[in-house]
Structure 1
Amino acid sequence: MAASDQIPEPEFDYEALPSNYGLGRNMLAGAFAGIAEHSVMYPVDLLKTRMQILHPSTGGLYTGLTNAVSTIYRIEGWRTLWKGVSSVIVGAGPAHAVYFGTYEIVKDLAGGNVDDGHHPLAAALSGASATIASDALMNPFDVIKQRMQVHGSVHKTLMQCAKTVYRTEGLQAFYLSYPTTLCMTVPFTATQFVAYESISKFMNPKQDYDPFTHCMAGGLAGAFAAGITTPLDVVKTLLQTRGLAESEEIRSARGLWNAASIIKKRFGWGGFLRGMRPRIISTMPSTAICWTSYEMAKAYFKEQSLD
């Protein structure tokens, strides 16, 4: 019998997991994807955070994306664009391992792997479940990251920032934005997963491993989801950086609705679109990188499990 005749058909099915694939390998693929995504696009994420701050100090005032880059380079230097990256590297690996592990488990339980058909409900449910689980782990790291990203931040390291926030604001500071984060990330992830599954099946009906398809589908899905959830991201940023604000009203923001009312009162409806361009610009390639890295690692582990 030829060697090619011994390769089982499931090797080419990227929607269903082989019986001996294992959750650990799936989570390892997710961790690899998360670290790759956040590390590569971190400077643009920093620009987004800077542009969403409601009342920045003088050196943190920007008129646009290009102005933000030139101002940071002139005043603070290029290294500032990577300030706080240690937080996402430490948090993104475990969080994305949980993210993609939950995604695959729930998708399988919801019937998303039953056949080659389109299962948008299963994709949405698995995406929502994945983000609820992973955000519980990632939210504190996200708070630390944004505290280190803002202009004039005195925080130099992950641990120093975490200790300072805990000592001055308590444990709640790390999870104050969690409900708002879920209000944003659940529809974001559900929309992204449905879009990714739909675009992937349209571009690649046979579901073969195809890096170009994974890259394009991931990028388009991420850009669409990022655009419609930007208002909630602005609210989340206010809550996560409130401890650094000079305004007492912002420092005492209590939750989603209170933060939203502050933004509306001070900037009108346009305030909810602050940072939309860098958010889309960063999310589109980051989701493309994430899905491409995930599918690449997934393909590698599947090939190993079938040997």
Structure 2
Amino acid sequence: MAQPTAEPVDDYDYESLPPNFSLAQNMAAGAFAGIAEHTVMYPIDAIKTRMQIINPSPNAVYKGMVEGTMRIATGEGVLKLWRGMSSVVVGAGPAHAVYFATYEAVKHAMGGNRAGVHHPLAAATSGACATIASDAFMNPFDVIKQRMQIQNSSKMYRSMADCARYVYRNEGLSAFYVSYPTTLSMTVPFTALQFLAYESISTTMNPEKKYDPFTHCTAGAVAGGFAAALTTPMDVIKTMLQTRGSATDPELRAVNSFMAGCRLLYQREGIRGFFKGVKPRVVTTMPSTAICWSAYEASKAYFIRRNTPSS
């Protein structure tokens, strides 16, 4: 009797998740995607953080990606470009697991998985809900990451755990969440825009919604870059709030809300200040979202194929 052979992935109704695509498998796919997304482009994210910080000293101002890379590499050592990445690795996996599990659950509940039909509202809503859930988990890790990315941070913190203890001891638990409302003001529209653009582009490129690596990579990159550029002002304020505890400037240390941050930034640097780091943010986000979506969709396709009975 001939052995049964598995159907190719392309024969599956890829977007209509089967009942045996478990929550654990969906979260595993999301965790893999999150770690892959954040680690590959981490050095450029570090430069973006340095560019966004308000510095009273001209010697502490970073003007661009190339200049920033050279200054850090020659003045502090190449490995400083990856300082703080351990916080991202520890936090990004679980946070993205929550992110994609929430995304799929809300999208399915709103009818966004029906093949052959574009569902922009379901895509935007599921993306926003996913962000609110995942950011609640990730925000403390993001604070630690940015504290470790700033100049001379190695003199204050030896490790991720040391940084967490320092922040908690000197600023309290609220320091890990003072930026959370601002983070949501950035990530909710960012994710809604990204998911809306991703679903629109991928549906246009791949109307049958079959697994297609080129579509997922291209749609992810374009959607991520578009959303990153539009939400840069909120990212600048988020960086200000997350790094204020390391500042010597009393006005900066006193900033404790989104509006207070906006007022200080406008007073110091005008409208241009709200777009500091926009180039490295877009350059970081485009490949990282392409990697994230590609990794997630590849993992999703693997689990669907693995769970589908042989013919």
What TM-score bracket applies, with the shorter chain setting the length? over 0.9
What's the C-alpha RMSD, in Å, of the aligned pairs?
1.7
Q: Describe the shift of the 1:188–1:265 C-alpha distance in structure 2 as closer, same or farther (beyond 3 A).
A: same
**Does structure 1 conserve the Cα–Cα contact (< 8 Å) formed by 2:9 and 2:211?**
no
Percent of aligned pairs with the same amino acid:
58
TM-aligned CA deviation for residue 12 of structure 1: 2.5
Q: Which SS does the other structure have where 1:241 is aligned?
A: helix
What residue in structure 1 maps to residue 258 of structure 2? 256
Q: Which SS does the other structure have where 1:13 is aligned?
A: coil
Matched, 1:134 2:128: no
From 190, 193, 196, the equivalent of 2:198 is: 196
- Whole-Å Cα distance in 2 between the matches of residues 296 and 59 of structure 1? 45
Bigger mean CA deviation after superposition, 174-183 or 48-57: 48-57
Counterpart AA for 1:202: T
TM-aligned CA deviation for residue 44 of structure 1: 0.7
Tell me the TM-score normalised to structure 1 length: 0.96
1:74-110 deviation per Cα after TM superposition (whole angstroms, max 9, x unaligned)? 1001000000000000000000000000000000001
TM-aligned CA deviation for residue 11 of structure 1: 5.4
Q: Describe the shift of the 1:183–1:140 C-alpha distance in structure 2 as closer, same or farther (beyond 3 A).
A: same
**Does structure 2 conserve the Cα–Cα contact (< 8 Å) formed by 1:103 and 1:130?**
yes
Count of aligned residue pairs for this structure pair = 306
Tell me the TM-score normalised to structure 2 length: 0.95
What residue in structure 1 maps to residue 232 of structure 2? 230
* Structure 2, gaps ≥5 residues long: none
TM-aligned CA deviation for residue 209 of structure 1: 1.0
Q: Describe the shift of the 1:216–1:10 C-alpha distance in structure 2 as closer, same or farther (beyond 3 A).
A: closer
Q: Which SS does the other structure have where 2:140 is aligned?
A: helix
1:180-214 deviation per Cα after TM superposition (whole angstroms, max 9, x unaligned)? 00000000000000000000011111111111110
Spell out structure 1 runs of 4+ moving beyond 4 A. 1-4, 6-11, 56-59
* Structure 1, gaps ≥5 residues long: none
From 267, 270, 274, the equivalent of 1:268 is: 270
What residue in structure 1 maps to residue 148 of structure 2? 148
Q: Describe the shift of the 1:56–1:15 C-alpha distance in structure 2 as closer, same or farther (beyond 3 A).
A: farther
- Whole-Å Cα distance in 2 between the matches of residues 17 and 60 of structure 1? 50
Matched, 1:107 2:107: yes
What residue in structure 1 maps to residue 98 of structure 2? 98
- Whole-Å Cα distance in 2 between the matches of residues 217 and 56 of structure 1? 40
Q: Which SS does the other structure have where 2:20 is aligned?
A: coil
TM-aligned CA deviation for residue 14 of structure 1: 2.6
From 270, 278, 281, the equivalent of 1:279 is: 281
- Whole-Å Cα distance in 1 between the matches of residues 20 and 10 of structure 2? 12
Matched, 1:288 2:284: no
**Does structure 2 conserve the Cα–Cα contact (< 8 Å) formed by 1:219 and 1:285?**
yes
Bigger mean CA deviation after superposition, 104-113 or 10-19: 10-19
Counterpart AA for 2:224: G
After the TM superposition, which residues 1-307 of structure 1 pair with which residues of structure 2 at under 5 Å, given as runs? 3=4, 7=7, 12-55=12-55, 60-153=60-153, 154-307=156-309
- Whole-Å Cα distance in 1 between the matches of residues 27 and 236 of structure 2? 30
1:208-242 deviation per Cα after TM superposition (whole angstroms, max 9, x unaligned)? 11111100000000000000000000000000000
Q: Describe the shift of the 1:149–1:210 C-alpha distance in structure 2 as closer, same or farther (beyond 3 A).
A: same
**Does structure 2 conserve the Cα–Cα contact (< 8 Å) formed by 1:52 and 1:275?**
yes
- Whole-Å Cα distance in 1 between the matches of residues 11 and 246 of structure 2? 51
TM-aligned CA deviation for residue 113 of structure 1: 1.4
Q: Which SS does the other structure have where 2:127 is aligned?
A: helix
- Whole-Å Cα distance in 2 between the matches of residues 49 and 213 of structure 1? 31
**Does structure 2 conserve the Cα–Cα contact (< 8 Å) formed by 1:124 and 1:191?**
yes
TM-aligned CA deviation for residue 57 of structure 1: 5.3
**Does structure 2 conserve the Cα–Cα contact (< 8 Å) formed by 1:56 and 1:151?**
no
Bigger mean CA deviation after superposition, 193-202 or 52-61: 52-61
TM-aligned CA deviation for residue 41 of structure 1: 0.8
**Does structure 2 conserve the Cα–Cα contact (< 8 Å) formed by 1:143 and 1:240?**
yes
